[in-house]
Structure 1
Amino acid sequence: MEFRHLVSYLALAEELHFGRAAAKLHLTQPSLSQQLQRLERRLGVTLVVRTSHEVRLTPAGEVFRDHARSIVRHMERAAQAAREAADGRFGTVRIGYNFSAWQEVLPNVLVAMHERYPHIVVELSELRSGPQLAALAAGELDIAFCDGRPATAGLRHRPLMRVPIVALVGTGHPWAKLPRVDFADLAGRPCIMFAREQSPAMYDAIMAAADRRGIRLTIAHQVDDLSATAIVAATQPVVAFVSAHRGAHMAAGGLGSVAVPFAEPAPAVELHAVWREDDDPSTVRAFLTCLDSAFVRPHT
């Protein structure tokens, strides 16, 4: 049974006139009659009674009309869904992000995605930059919002904004009431550091700043978990390093910590959107389109 025969039959069932139905379908009347005959032979029943005065449906024809109408509607919806999927309007896109991306980028982009592509499901995972890049390479994420230009081959990226790195200290620390500090003042002060694989770009920016000032950081603790970092910084006389966005959030959270900016030239990282070069599905293109239109790079 061919789908076009169902469409032709429904036109005839609606018009009850071979001439008008054929014109509606852009067919000749003989062609429409042949389609009806093939359909009736396939079903083994008579669907239409045609006399010199009228065209009417048989009881079998009326039942078949209702079912055929449902089939055609389902096929039309299926075709629309396929077109939307091909156009990036249907499916799932998996997004990894860090705190700076959540604060500055994602809110407006997610609103734009909901408005333009309501049938795309956006799955969000908050991760530090290193785990994001690992998940992207493993095919577990479609787009990563992470610090620094990726060094791995096969990835495309788009720079978004500069993110300063700040010192996080407890409220009782000597730096807590200062408007800013020079990075060189870290000489001899105990610091909290994280493993480089957690955030390679931030780690390298901190170490490069130390090299420029001619100092060697005193690493008293290695703490990878950000919540634990905030607790240690709040309760011990140490200095931790976080993004300006994360620092402001931690300081406002009542955990007993303060974010202190570094004097310029302050260490900083560049926030990037990153995706796989050889895997560019329509859902990724849709998300990047919304990123282009909804994200406005902050003035620095």
Structure 2
Amino acid sequence: MELRQIRSFVVLADELHFSRAALRLHIVQPALSKQIKALESELGFSLLSRHQRGVELTAAGRVFRDQVEVMLRRLDRAVDLARATATGRAGALDVGFVRAAMWSVLPSALRDFRLATENIEVRLHELSSATQLQHVRDGLIDAGLVRLPVHDDSLDFEVIYSEPLLVALASNHPLAGEPRIDLAKLANETFLLLPRRGEPGFYDRCVAQCYEFGFGPTTVEESRGFAAILGMVGIGMGVTLLPSSTGSVGWPNVAVRPLSRASIMLDLALVRRHEPVSPALDRFASALHRAADRLVVRAN
């Protein structure tokens, strides 16, 4: 049974006239008659009752028409969705992210992406950078927003947004009133940082920033999340370094200040597999870049 035969039958069932149906199908009448006879032969029953004035559907023909019309609509919908997915206009994306991305590029990018591609669902997964790399490799997520530097030759990394480090200290700390902090003055403080095993790039950037101010930090890896770390900072348990996007959030009893001579930038990158190419993911990456550009304009 050929799809062409079924489509020809549906047109004929609509017209109930071989000549008019053949004209709509852009074929000659004998060819249409041959298709319908072949279809009836394969089905084993008559679809049409032929007479001098034209044709009528048999009872079986009416049932068959109703069912195949539903099938053809679903088939056409499937083709449309598949074509839209192939061109990045429909489907679903599973995207991992570090929390700082939600305080920087991610909300704006999601709004843009949703307006431009309303048929694509984005499913978000808050994960550490290390976990995201493994999930992307294993195909559990399509892409992730991770902190660089991380290295994996099997994956592609695309820098989306760069931001400076800020220092956070208790609001009653002696240095909290200074507009900019000389990090060297905090050399004897305890630094509360995210665990290196989950965020190696971020951890190493923080340590490198301290070394640029002439000291190696005394670090305590207390928590996997900034909310808990900044809660501890607020009660005087230590100080921390954090991305500027995270510092823009109001944290109780915490003063967030720029560094006096910061030179290290934090890179947020989109990570994905080399193949297959995903038009939807390309569109999402473009939305992320536009969101990052807007942040840079506002910062300047």
Q: 1:169·1:237 contact (CA, 8 Å) conserved in 2? A: no
Alpha-carbon separation, structure 2, partners of 1:292 and 1:235: 37
1:1-300 map, 5 Å: 1-219=1-219, 221-226=220-225, 227-236=227-236, 238-249=238-249, 252-254=250-252, 256-292=253-289, 295-296=292-293, 298-299=296-297
Aligned-partner SS, 1:287:
helix
Letter of the structure 2 residue corresponding to residue 225 of structure 1: R
Checking the alignment, whether the CA contact within 8 Å between 1:99 and 1:245 is kept in structure 2 is: no
Q: CA deviation at 1:89?
A: 3.4
- Which sections of structure 2, spanning at least 5 residues, go unmatched? none
Deviation at 1:34, TM superposition (A): 0.9
CA drift of 1:269 comes to 0.9
Q: Distance in 2 between matches of 1:289 and 1:190?
A: 40
Q: Which amino acid aligns with 1:217?
A: P
When residues 232 and 8 of structure 1 are mapped into structure 2, their CA distance, relative to the original with a 3 A threshold, is: same
User: C-alpha offsets along residues 105-133 of structure 1, whole Å, 9 cap, x if unaligned?
Assistant: 11222123322332322111223333333
- Distance between the aligned counterparts of 1:134 and 1:258, measured in 2? 35
CA contact (8 A) 2:164 2:262 kept: no
| CA distance, structure 2, for counterparts of residue 189 and residue 49 of structure 1 | 93
Structure 1: give runs of 5+ residues left out of the alignment: none
CA distance change for structure 1 residues 38 and 210 in 2, over 3 Å: closer, same or farther?
Answer: same
- Aligned identity (percent) is 30
Note if contact 1:94-1:141 (Cα within 8 Å) is conserved in structure 2.
yes
Contact 2:136 2:272 in 1 (8 A): yes
- 1:87 Cα deviation (Å)? 2.7
Cα distance in 2 between the residues matched to 1:162 and 1:289: 16
Deviation per CA, 1:185-244: give whole Å up to 9, x if none.
22223322333223222222222223333222233x222322331222111252112112
The alignment's TM-score, normalised by the length of structure 1, stands at 0.88
- 2:43 and 2:237 map into 1 onto residues whose CA distance is 86
Cα offset, 1:282, TM superposition: 4.2
Query: Structure 1 residues 264, 86: closer, same or farther in 2, change over 3 A?
Result: same
- Could you say what the CA RMSD is over the residues aligned between the two structures, in angstroms? 2.3
1:292, CA displacement in angstroms? 4.5
- Given the two structures, how large is their TM-score scaled by the length of structure 2? 0.88
8 Å Cα contact 2:5-2:39 kept in structure 1: yes
Distance of aligned partners of 1:53 and 1:216 in 2 relative to their CA distance in 1, 3 Å threshold: closer
Is contact 1:161-1:272 (8 Å) kept? Answer: yes
d(CA) in 2 for partners of 1:139, 1:32: 48
Letter in 1 for 2:262: P
